[in-house]
Amino acid sequence: MTRKIAVLAGDGIGPEVVGEAIKVLNRIDTSFEFEHALVGGAAYDDGGHPLPQSTLDLCRKADAVLLGAVGGPKYDKIQPPELRPEVGALLPLRSELNLYANVRPAKTIDALSSSSPLREGRGKMDLVVMRELTGGIYFAKPRERRDGGDTAVDTCIYRRHEVVRIAERAFEIARQRRNEIVSVDKANVLETSRLWREVVTEMAGQNQDVKVSHMLVDNCAMQLVRDPSQFDVILTENMFGDILSDEASMITGSLGLLPSASLSDPKDGQVFGLYEPVHGSAPDIAGQGKANPIATILSTAMMLRYSFKDNEGALRIERAVEQVLNEGLRTADIMSDGCRPASTIEMGDAIADCL
Ligand code: IPM
Ligand code: MG
């Protein structure tokens, strides 16, 4: 099995956190091949486009992609908006590489439970948001201004096959967890949601080992705060998943620790994917050794699990992170009384040494 990893470090703290993730991967196995390419603002500065063709080509030749973060205030005003790092790099990476299944686990970590805004008595949260990532209102045309700029149009389209494939991935993930899916939509209003619910209901009939229920998105937002422990897998469309995954990640109290995977079609039990931390490029602390590399390191654990069929390696990384946190090592973002401060590199070293 080849293990080529395209590394897109990107902007802000991206290069720092990606550096630590590579350190950890090298400790797991020395046979990974890393090839670096520019993305985001860094690529825009270099050649005028946030996603150069050469970067896309490198990703296509790789078995997995490791992404840091893109964007920053310097790039927020670029015109046209299609050339801004988020829209001009992230969205086309997702669609060009067919990364339709976005897996965003959100789990409270015992050592950090005091930083959750919900704190005591609400039960533990351990859920995965399965977000459809290449369809819906993010991608459908037309998207335009009319009437001399006074009318704006965004279109939401879903096709049956797009719902089927993300739901299939959700059933697979649910089977590795607690066998429960809550499918989230807005079927009381939206036609795309009625199609979504119809398809998921049919599939639930064919997959009766998994318990499937349906929830409207506004209710889901409320239920997440009321009792997040009720959820196992949340299956939902692109924009609802964007919003709910931010909400879920905040409930863990440790946004800086959450990994994510964006996956394509599985082939022979292996799947091409892009792995990145949920947090952004944090330009305010870039280059100062303050960034928390844990989310990116945990993203490499997801990479081992999904793209390289190495569940054992993934567990080793996850246990190493847990151990280092239990021992009281903390980067600035998760610092609390009685803990020992660590820089980005010190945190990466400590986790690598645990392996
Ligand atoms: C995310 C981000 C992106 C999204 C933005 C930056 C385009 O919020 O990955 O959740 O909305 O998908
Ligand atoms: Mg988001």
Summary mean pLDDT of the chain: 95
Using the atom order of ligand 1, give the atom closest to the CA of residue 87.
7
What confidence score (pLDDT) does residue 252 get?
86
Q: Give per-residue pLDDT as tens, 294-351.
A: 999 999 999 999 999 999 999 999 999 999 999 999 999 999 899 999 999 999 999 9
DSSP 26-54: HHH-TT-EEEE---THHHHHHHS-SS-HH
Question: In this structure, which residue's CA is closest to atom 6 in ligand 1?
Answer: 86
Residue 63 CB less than 6 A away from ligand 1: no
Residues 351 and 290 in one domain: yes
Percentage with pLDDT > 90 across the chain: 90
Residue 242 CB less than 6 A away from ligand 1: yes
Q: Which ligand is nearest to the CA of 134?
A: 1
Last residue of a domain, one of 252, 285, 300: 252
* pLDDT for 117 beyond 80: no
**Average pLDDT over every residue of 271-275:** 97
Check if the beta carbon of residue 271 is closer than 8 Å to that of residue 265. Answer: yes
Using the atom order of ligand 1, give the atom closest to the CA of residue 242.
10
- Residue 282 within a domain: yes
- Residue 284 within a domain: yes
Q: Give per-residue pLDDT as tens, 206-256.
A: 999 999 999 999 999 999 999 999 999 999 999 999 999 999 998 887 778
Q: Which residues are catalytic?
A: 138, 186, 218, 242, 246
Among candidate residues 100, 126, 136, the one with its CA nearest the CA of residue 261: 100
Residue 90 CB less than 6 A away from ligand 1: yes
- CATH of residue 15: 3.40.718.10
Give the residue numbers spanning the domain of 225: 117-252
Integer Cα distance of 225 and 219 in angstroms: 10
Per-residue pLDDT band for 118 (boundaries 50, 70, 90) equals: confident
What confidence score (pLDDT) does residue 301 get?
98
Question: In this structure, which residue's CA is closest to atom 2 in ligand 1?
Answer: 242
- Residue 235 within a domain: yes
Using the atom order of ligand 1, give the atom closest to the CA of residue 102.
9
Q: How far is CA 215 from CA 27, 86, 196, 227, 231, in A?
A: 43, 30, 12, 14, 11
Residues 140 and 240 in one domain: yes
Check if the beta carbon of residue 341 is closer than 8 Å to that of residue 332. Answer: yes
Integer Cα distance of 142 and 155 in angstroms: 6
Question: In this structure, which residue's CA is closest to atom 11 in ligand 1?
Answer: 242
What confidence score (pLDDT) does residue 120 get?
60
Q: How many domains does the chain have?
A: 2
Last residue of a domain, one of 202, 231, 252: 252
Integer Cα distance of 163 and 196 in angstroms: 6
What confidence score (pLDDT) does residue 164 get?
98
Residues 331 and 276 in one domain: yes
